[in-house]
Structure 1
Amino acid sequence: MVSSDYWTEDVARRYDDASSDMFSREVLDPTVDFLAELAGDGAALEFAIGTGRVAVPLAARGVPVSGIELSQPMVDRLRTKMDAASLPVVVGDMSTSTVEGEFSLVYLVFNTIGNLREQEEQVACFRNAARHLAPGGRFVIELWIPGIRRLPPGQTAVPFAVDDDHLGFDTYDMATQQGASHHYSRQDDGTFRYGVTNFRYIWPAECDLMAQLAGLEFEARYADWHRTPFTGESESHVSVWRKPLPAEAARAAN
């Protein structure tokens, strides 16, 4: 059984509203532009496709999109936006589940690689991406940089949202790279709803090693979907790895 949290019907029902800022054109347009450019004339596969926040507008650009998603309730929400013939989805674990065909692009957005809470599963996810890629295809991950630099000695939590309607903070176990995102969200009646999601954080260099183990080559890393240069002060990254062409792989093996 995969270590990922399971997104229930209750979570799926509230997901789009709770993440409404991530559905804005300011967020989605550069994301979809970036992915559509890499997909080119080929097809794209999204791991942890969720309710289709990125996949639906990407498909609207004319890119054939398929998905893998662990949570059936999340897929049910996606189906209110696009049918299975237009956007096929396999319900299963993104580290092992497979989809028919080859893809010019496999992608993971919004920190979802961290949903896999064991390093072994994250390595398997990279290998699964490579398995689905056509030669020359790209694997793209959007991932935040762990906020542990803001942890003073003896503290285990870092706030990431503090406003009238939402208090959020991450807690970290430095020995295991395990973390949890805690959310307190104000409801219409003035009460607060508590929710928590668990994750395993990964540094960019660890991602590169996982890609190398999967036979992928590093191509580029940016601070965001606008291709802002990545620096030591960046709080997130969009990283791209490429599956070598057969001749390139043969040369590398010699």
Structure 2
Amino acid sequence: MDDMDGYFGESVAADYDESASGMFAPDVVDPAVGFLAELAGDGRALELGIGTGRIAVPLARRGVAVHGIDMSRAMVSRLREKPGGDGIGVTIGDFATTKVDGTFSVAYLVFNTIMNLTTQAEQVSCFRNVAEHLKPGGCFVVEVMVPGLRRLPPGQDAVPFHVGSTHLGFDTYDVATQSMSSHHVEIVDGHGTYRSFPFRYVWPAELDLMAQLAGLRLRERWDGWSREPFNGESEQHVSVWEKPAGPVG
């Protein structure tokens, strides 16, 4: 692990966009950007875990004023190298607690990033932090997986998510603590490198309770950015919580 940048230091940032290239495809990015731009309207957007700017850069091109929070200077430096990336404000820090100036129409966490907070207390703190940054009527959007525990046979704690000739990936779960880790083995010229990233998986209902504790209320939940219905077979969800414009009662 690189110092200062947590698990997303230079060794990860150097090839992050290539390793996650599928997430940069227009058919993945465009629906998310359109969804967020609609919620932002004429207001500002706050991205938690802005990283290399996969969503922030095209959202800013849509005319939305975007500010980001991220702990990794290495990831942010890649953002700065992209056209338009140097015009996006970024505050270096832990997005569960870091404060920035002003209020926002929408704040968002995409691509399972809420799970980078590895304790329930940190995730609750994140919701409260977001609520403080939202203007009345503003929304908090989270894109995250539904824990794949139904894929675990009795006695097994690992689930593969990619098996290829140059990349092996699998998740391990601890159902007692809701901790999980994603493991990656990259094979180049017959030699393997191994990386592991810790996460905390979280259920939709648990997120709703965190939102309630922060004074937010569920506005909508979808299977994906194109507003496909969320149901019992969904493997992910895009959820939107709203900060009430007036007293709740």
**Mapped partners of 2:119, 2:84: distance in 1:** 33
Contact 1:169 1:183 in 2 (8 A): yes
**Mapped partners of 1:19, 1:190: distance in 2:** 22
**Mapped partners of 1:130, 1:83: distance in 2:** 28
1:84–1:57 distance in 2 versus 1, CA, 3 Å: closer
TM-fit CA distance, 1:203: 0.3
Contact 1:168 1:183 in 2 (8 A): yes
Counterpart residue number, 1:172: 173
**Mapped partners of 2:211, 2:199: distance in 1:** 19
Letter in 2 for 1:217: R
Contact 2:146 2:235 in 1 (8 A): yes
Counterpart residue number, 2:194: 194
% same residue: 59
Counterpart residue number, 1:104: 105
Q: Please say which of residues 159-168 and 223-232 is displaced more in the overlay.
A: 159-168
Letter in 2 for 1:147: G
**Mapped partners of 1:164, 1:219: distance in 2:** 43
Counterpart residue number, 1:87: 88
Contact 1:5 1:115 in 2 (8 A): no
Contact 2:48 2:95 in 1 (8 A): yes
**TM-score, reference length from structure 1:** 0.93
**TM-score, reference length from structure 2:** 0.95
**Mapped partners of 1:150, 1:6: distance in 2:** 27
Contact 2:57 2:84 in 1 (8 A): no
Counterpart residue number, 1:47: 48
TM-fit CA distance, 1:5: 4.3
Question: What are the ranges of 5 or more consecutive residues in structure 2 without an aligned counterpart?
Answer: none
Counterpart residue number, 2:229: 229
Deviation digits for residues 168-204 of structure 1, max 9, x if unmatched? Answer: 11001111100000011232x2322211111000000
Letter in 2 for 1:143: V
TM-fit CA distance, 1:163: 2.0
**Is residue 207 from structure 1 mapped to residue 207 from structure 2 by the alignment?**
yes
1:146–1:51 distance in 2 versus 1, CA, 3 Å: same
1:17–1:85 distance in 2 versus 1, CA, 3 Å: closer
**Is residue 243 from structure 1 mapped to residue 243 from structure 2 by the alignment?**
yes
Counterpart residue number, 1:156: 157
Report how many residues are paired.
Answer: 245
**Mapped partners of 1:62, 1:231: distance in 2:** 33
Task: Provide the alpha-carbon RMSD of the alignment.
Answer: 1.4
